[in-house]
Chain A
Amino acid sequence: MDLIELLPAFWVGFKMTLLLLVISGTASLVFGTIITAMRISPIGSLRVFATVWTEIGRNTPLTLVFYFFVFVVPFFGLRWDWNFYTILAICALTYYTSPFVAEALRSGINGVPVGQAEAARSIGLGFGQTVSLVVLPQAFRMTIPPLINVFIALTKNSSVAGGFFVVDLFASTRTLANGHGDLVIPILIIAAAFYLVITVPLGLLAARLEKKLVVQR
């Protein structure tokens, strides 16, 4: 009975986790695509920049990234009251996830046969058109299962935000568990169930899409 009274608190956290997932997922998709485009572009400095960005992003622990956004970024004079920490958390997750999106996309691009790009070039398309009209659409198709894996990882990573002033599923779970010593185990199991409600269907979706979309060559 007590547990039912606790559900609204879980719900608040769950909504925040979903919000973090959707916004930072979309943003990292956009940034990841831009980084990939930079990485294969004809301009050398952009290639180097994208490579360095990816390497640093992939090798920094997420906790440290959060630390940077939550404690160091405000030094730059950014400050507002409305959802300050939520937005910083979204920035941190986006920064951390976009290199993984870029890596997934790049492996997809590697899977597009060279002939596709050659054909596009031979009918007179330039770099921008070749990439945006011919290569990327095919790469995306092949990249959907690994991209979904990135989003599953993002869902799990969003729990770190709970350690940095954002009331997400992890934070609300921790508060509830600390407040109801007798109900620790059921509380943690409910939290796990909430996470699995997001991650397991995503995994199943990845497996389905893999069969459906990936072009067998």
Chain B
Amino acid sequence: MSAGSSVLFDAPGPRARAISRVGSIVGLVLIAAVLVWAVTILATPRQSGGITLPGMFDESRWDIFAEADVWLFIGQGVLNTLRAAAVAAVGALALGVVFSLLRSSEIAWVRKPVAWLLEFLRGMPVLLMMLFILLVGSTGQFTAVVVALILYNGTLIGEALRAGLAALPRGQREAALSVGMRPFQSKMLVEFPQAFRQMLPIIVAQLVVLLKDTSLGYIVGYNELIRTTMNNLSAYYGNRYLFSLFFVTLAIYLTINLSLSWFARWLARRGTPGTGRRRGTGGPMRPDDTADPVRAILLAEAAATARASEDQASQGTP
């Protein structure tokens, strides 16, 4: 029903339009009412231990943002978050390539243990991995956060790449072998570039997840954005800034993540010339699916399986 959900209800006549308009207004009023309620509660000064505290929107709760130092400090937090995300992203991509190569290896005793390892890494909370690396490897927090993110996202990117490889038309590999490339050369020079390109939206979506997950560093004590603002700054300036600091942190995260998500969607919409698109249903490129990397990988795998069985069928009946 990708044509739009309008098939679910009639093209509205005058009466339906009126009802829908009233519904829209009632909905808006309800949403506005909730917002106003929340804002009033937040804005009301409150009594605590005999002292009157100013409301959340009082100037005295926001004045720290006039100081350049505060922004420098927040900037440091953003930098720490981005640094962890960038290092982890590069590492996860590299590990993803290695994993997908090993996982699709022709040697069973390489393929099987790697498959088990991937299953294990996928089923574990990233937070537990961070704790493990921190306690067992007694590394710094940065290393713990980055390595755990690399391991976890590397498996998912590896699966995506493998699905992308499997979804390639077989002719690509056959052609590469026929002009004298070795299997490994064919993988790296012919198949990977295409799989990578086809899976790019999924990989970018996974990188958004990775960026979000750097915030788990808060719990293991890495000074990323949330710890910088919500712990360090609010400890320094006092609890009165808790709400405003939360608000600013949320705004920063939403700005970064929404622009990255938008970028992923743009990539998916733009599509890629080459395989997938032309084949209609076969390609894992439908914009909707990039919303959930795991789902997208499943779809790509299903498409690959379908194509493999088609190939077999067509070979069986020449």
- Say whether A87 faces chain B, with CB atoms less than 8 Å apart: no
Q: Is the CB of B226 within 8 A of A196?
A: no
Scan B85-117; emit 1 where CB is below 8 A from any A CB, else 0. Answer: 000000000000000000000000000000000
| Residues of chain A with a CB closer than 8 A to B7's CB | 114, 117-118, 121
Scan A51-77; emit 1 where CB is below 8 A from any B CB, else 0. Answer: 000011011111110011001100111
Cα A163 to Cα B8 with chains together (Å): 44
| Residues of chain A with a CB closer than 8 A to B20's CB | 42-44
Known: A43-B24, A146-B295, A196-B124. A60 touches B136 (CB 8 A): no
Cα A55 to Cα B254 with chains together (Å): 9
Name the distance in Å between A85's Cβ and chain B's nearest Cβ.
15
Q: Is the CB of B123 within 8 A of A200?
A: yes
Q: Is the CB of A44 within 8 A of B24?
A: yes
Name the distance in Å between A1's Cβ and chain B's nearest Cβ.
22
- Say whether B274 faces chain A, with CB atoms less than 8 Å apart: no
Scan B229-263; emit 1 where CB is below 8 A from any A CB, else 0. Answer: 01000000000001100100110011001100100
| Residues of chain B with a CB closer than 8 A to A44's CB | 20, 24
Cα A205 to Cα B254 with chains together (Å): 34
Q: Is the CB of A64 within 8 A of B10?
A: no
| Residues of chain A with a CB closer than 8 A to B175's CB | none
Cα A135 to Cα B8 with chains together (Å): 9
The chain B residue sitting closest to A77, CB to CB, is: B41
Scan residues 145-198 of chain A and give those whose CB is less than 8 A from a CB of chain B.
Answer: 145-146, 149, 152-153, 155-160, 162-163, 170, 173-174, 177, 184-185, 188, 191-192, 195-196
Cα A206 to Cα B124 with chains together (Å): 17
Q: Is the CB of A195 within 8 A of B125?
A: yes
Q: Is the CB of B31 within 8 A of A104?
A: no
Q: Is the CB of B254 within 8 A of A60?
A: yes
- Say whether B177 faces chain A, with CB atoms less than 8 Å apart: no
Q: Which of A59, A112, A177, A185 contacts B261 (CB 8 A)?
A: A59
Cα A71 to Cα B243 with chains together (Å): 9
Please list 26 pairs of residues, one from A and one from B, whose beta carbons are closer than 8 Å in the complex, sorted by A's number: A42-B23, A43-B20, A46-B23, A46-B24, A58-B261, A59-B208, A59-B257, A59-B258, A61-B213, A63-B215, A63-B218, A63-B219, A64-B253, A77-B41, A100-B292, A104-B295, A110-B1, A111-B1, A121-B7, A127-B8, A135-B8, A170-B127, A177-B131, A191-B128, A192-B124, A203-B119
- Say whether A84 faces chain B, with CB atoms less than 8 Å apart: no
Cα A187 to Cα B128 with chains together (Å): 11
- Say whether A109 faces chain B, with CB atoms less than 8 Å apart: yes
| Residues of chain B with a CB closer than 8 A to A100's CB | 292
The chain A residue sitting closest to B257, CB to CB, is: A59
Known: A64-B250, A170-B125. A130 touches B218 (CB 8 A): no
Cα A77 to Cα B44 with chains together (Å): 12
Scan residues 192-244 of chain B and give those whose CB is less than 8 A from a CB of chain A.
Answer: 208, 212-216, 218-219, 226, 230, 242-243
Cα A44 to Cα B21 with chains together (Å): 8
Q: Is the CB of B128 within 8 A of A192?
A: yes
Cα A162 to Cα B215 with chains together (Å): 14
- Say whether B298 faces chain A, with CB atoms less than 8 Å apart: yes
Scan residues 50-80 of chain B and give those whose CB is less than 8 A from a CB of chain A.
Answer: 56
| Residues of chain A with a CB closer than 8 A to B188's CB | none
| Residues of chain B with a CB closer than 8 A to A107's CB | 288-289, 291-292, 295
Cα A125 to Cα B219 with chains together (Å): 51
User: Of B124, B246, B254, which is in contact with the most chain A CB atoms at under 10 Å from its CB?
Assistant: B124
Q: Is the CB of A159 within 8 A of B246?
A: no
Q: Is the CB of A40 within 8 A of B8?
A: yes
The chain B residue sitting closest to A198, CB to CB, is: B123
| Residues of chain B with a CB closer than 8 A to A76's CB | 38, 41-42
- Say whether A137 faces chain B, with CB atoms less than 8 Å apart: no
Name the distance in Å between A176's Cβ and chain B's nearest Cβ.
11
Cα A145 to Cα B294 with chains together (Å): 11
Q: Is the CB of B218 within 8 A of A149?
A: no
Q: Which of B8, B16, B213, B291 contacts A103 (CB 8 A)?
A: B291
User: Of B5, B243, B289, which is in contact with the most chain A CB atoms at under 10 Å from its CB?
Assistant: B5
Q: Is the CB of A61 within 8 A of B125?
A: no
